[in-house]
Structure 1
């Protein structure tokens, strides 16, 4: 028995298919099903909440409540992996944690289909808790490759494409074909069907994946599953209650972020390593750019979704716009993956801080397009052309591709080796924080911005999006100008 097996370490697969380990293709199928479910109900989530549970409050207040609940749920969903990853590593094992996550995800979607607000909030809470246990899916993709295998990067590229394939097809099915025609409650059921397929596929092939990780999937015996389910059951009502109190949830998120930053400050003081301290400072600055970018870009889930529904002249259902981002990624990601090495060979590859600035500039420009369209290119009926929103999503996607894949790779390089997992969890938590800010920004589109103003409809959107354009451009220029200084803080990393 090898030392790795004796230590219960994962053993990479030697059984290949189409140039990659056989189990990778199963995991990609699970990824498509999981993201079919998530992006399927996310496509209509905020409008559904406004119409089904808050319609009696009037259109503006219903929209505001929908923004707050949607952003709070999505923020919580991106925060739970910090704890869920620990449970998967230390208690359940990766494959068992993922299996539980998929089955609970299916159940949570069925709860969301219930007609009562309380049942719906329980479904949201269960989905957020289950998502925390689903974080091993990303790790399991890499488990199939030996150390130093050059195919690993290609495997993660396929994984990224699988995410967006699921995200691309599902708005047509869950939101339009089923939800729009038969009621959005049935859209949740359709999403649950996609999650069930993912869960069945993974459960079927799980024993073969377990064989690659001797002993790692039974860290504390079968009772650990029962204990995990019991803890989730006990957390379900408090989590649903937290979702019903968006102000409390928001402050809890900010407090947790403050504690995380404090931890790394204390770590730097104790370590007394000048280079590592500089690298953490660079990581913190890039983290700020990450939060700003996603707070702007995630308007696609909230305010841009309502803009598409109420003010965009399109020959198709508004939910189709939710497929724009994954479609652009499927087309453009392979091209940009070729562009960066091509620029590097010619000595023109922008540094990571500069790429962050480019990403921020692109997302700011996306709102400049909408502001110009609203101000100068409105149709006779007061609506705007669908091409303007399609162009907005294109610019945001280009910004995402300039910023996100590079950012994930950089975290592991800038963080101290013994704190890399926590740093990656904090990076994901930045997206959670961005969801909170995105919800607050979205509420501004339904408020009168200045005393005595009577802005309504498109003018409200133009006012807020004009601010996003201005502030986003300013922040982008700061990062572009200070990129050389931030790069020096990274001490040799590009």
Structure 2
């Protein structure tokens, strides 16, 4: 079959049928719902599983080590998106990448659900990292293919898609938090079931709702390239394996050195991506200008996720050790606090989707929305430092402070994250569409790699300084971004 044009793909997708949006949004909404159900259910209890004593069903790791592992694992999850984006753009197409990614994630959760030792823990992490790298950026890319470039529904569509993500993320920590009292492995098992349901939904509805969206390989490998690429990949695997086999016995590859290496790669890889895409002969002058506009948005996203992703590390520890979990006669699970963030997004996402459509051309532009996201994220850390600043040392904190902090970061997310997904599909060079979406997720990878170092600075004694410094920097950069937004808009060449 000859390669279909974008217009031909759009014509075969039912353009109405899901809240006034293309029917394919239904398929992607529920696929991502179940994938996020599995991921966030696992993530809600993972840090506790790592540092709880073996007698309590955990691995008995040091708390600081557990926080760093959690951050570096999150970084690798999003960093693997570059592999998924490359495979989608050059080998599989985004639709196949979504399916194969879901299969790997499911098996990763199954491995984590098997009671065993720390070896099974790391096997599951590898499978989930690779699977998420295939699924997550490519599902978002397919959403972008459902709409014409000038369709005003696009931002609203991504907000609805984002609501699906957060519905899964809301429900799963509640279930996992209950099950962790019985066994951590029961919670991980439910995550595996969730991913299986997501795969069933995707396979059963994609033909009717998506048509050929996501099936085209944007920049396929030429026959002359395949042998060289596959040989290079095989050699790289052998060399890396040999280096690891030598470095570990020699003591060169330790946990700290690995964290440092991932931290360097998390910033080096997106920098290289920008340079390669900018200098590629397949990127025209307009696309080059849009890539330059994307750089400050990427930096703002990194800082936002530095704060937001501490919900599963520092704030999870805060919920477990600093918060009064006996509230109004109810014994709270520390995992349940991770449901508040998606709950707020579920409540507010339709309002934001309606607001952007209602405002039309009068809505804030993309950089201004990013600046609002940073401001709210910064305020969330200012809020959570107040109990430590005004309260007694070591006193347990009313859980409503933590809920209020989470509310602010959720508002910030709705200003920045769905808008960033939509902006990425608009600003991406045509030859690098899926890979540019992977680049967007690399902002999260960079943030969590940075967090792997930052979490070492947190303690009861440094709590106020820790939250105040990070929150203050976010607010300052948010204000700066707002004032330079007209300059960024000029480089976007008509994209608003």
Q: TM-score, normalised by structure 2?
A: 0.80
Inter-partner Cα distance in structure 2 for 1:307 and 1:214: 42
Inter-partner Cα distance in structure 2 for 1:339 and 1:16: 20
Offset of residue 291 of structure 1: 0.7
Stretch moving more, 200-209 or 401-410: 200-209
Cα distance, 1:205–1:488 mapped onto 2, change above 3 Å:
closer
From 293, 308, 311, give the equivalent of 1:297.
308
Aligned equivalent of 1:120:
121
From 459, 480, 490, give the equivalent of 1:478.
480
Matched-pair contact (CA < 8 Å) for 1:243–1:249 = no
Offset of residue 160 of structure 1: 1.8
Aligned equivalent of 2:160:
158
Aligned equivalent of 1:339:
355
Aligned equivalent of 1:366:
380
Matched-pair contact (CA < 8 Å) for 2:84–2:438 = no
Whether 1:83 aligns to 2:97 is no
Aligned equivalent of 1:356:
370
Equivalences for residues 29-48 of structure 1 within 5 A: 29-48=30-49
Stretch moving more, 408-417 or 307-316: 408-417
Matched-pair contact (CA < 8 Å) for 1:37–1:170 = yes
Inter-partner Cα distance in structure 2 for 1:271 and 1:208: 33
Aligned equivalent of 1:450:
none
User: Structure 1, residues 276-332: CA drift from partner, whole Å, max 9, x if none?
Assistant: 655433321221111111112211111011001100123221111101111111111
Matched-pair contact (CA < 8 Å) for 2:14–2:22 = yes
Stretch moving more, 193-202 or 366-375: 193-202
User: Structure 1, residues 396-439: CA drift from partner, whole Å, max 9, x if none?
Assistant: 11111112222233334444444444333222211111111122
Say what the alpha-carbon RMSD is for the aligned residues.
Answer: 4.0
Inter-partner Cα distance in structure 1 for 2:414 and 2:423: 14
Cα distance, 1:442–1:205 mapped onto 2, change above 3 Å:
same
Aligned equivalent of 1:199:
199
Higher relative contact order (CA 8 A, sep 6+): 2
Q: SS state of the match for residue 313, structure 1? A: coil
Aligned equivalent of 2:471:
469
Cα distance, 1:105–1:378 mapped onto 2, change above 3 Å:
same
Matched-pair contact (CA < 8 Å) for 1:8–1:215 = no
Q: How many residues align?
A: 463
Stretch moving more, 356-365 or 8-17: 8-17
Q: SS state of the match for residue 182, structure 1? A: coil
Q: Which consecutive unaligned segments of at least 5 residues does structure 1 have?
A: 447-456
Cα distance, 1:437–1:272 mapped onto 2, change above 3 Å:
same
Inter-partner Cα distance in structure 2 for 1:292 and 1:119: 33
Aligned equivalent of 1:376:
390
Aligned equivalent of 1:449:
none
Offset of residue 83 of structure 1: 1.9
From 293, 309, 325, give the equivalent of 1:282.
293
Inter-partner Cα distance in structure 2 for 1:192 and 1:212: 28
Aligned equivalent of 2:51:
50
From 137, 140, 144, give the equivalent of 2:139.
137
From 169, 172, 175, give the equivalent of 1:170.
172
Cα distance, 1:54–1:397 mapped onto 2, change above 3 Å:
farther
Offset of residue 149 of structure 1: 7.2
Aligned equivalent of 1:330:
346
Cα distance, 1:8–1:92 mapped onto 2, change above 3 Å:
farther
Cα distance, 1:313–1:198 mapped onto 2, change above 3 Å:
same
Q: SS state of the match for residue 312, structure 1? A: coil
Q: TM-score, normalised by structure 1?
A: 0.80
Inter-partner Cα distance in structure 2 for 1:88 and 1:302: 31
Inter-partner Cα distance in structure 2 for 1:438 and 1:398: 21
Stretch moving more, 430-439 or 336-345: 336-345
Cα distance, 1:307–1:491 mapped onto 2, change above 3 Å:
same
Aligned equivalent of 2:417:
404
Inter-partner Cα distance in structure 2 for 1:107 and 1:368: 40
Offset of residue 115 of structure 1: 2.7
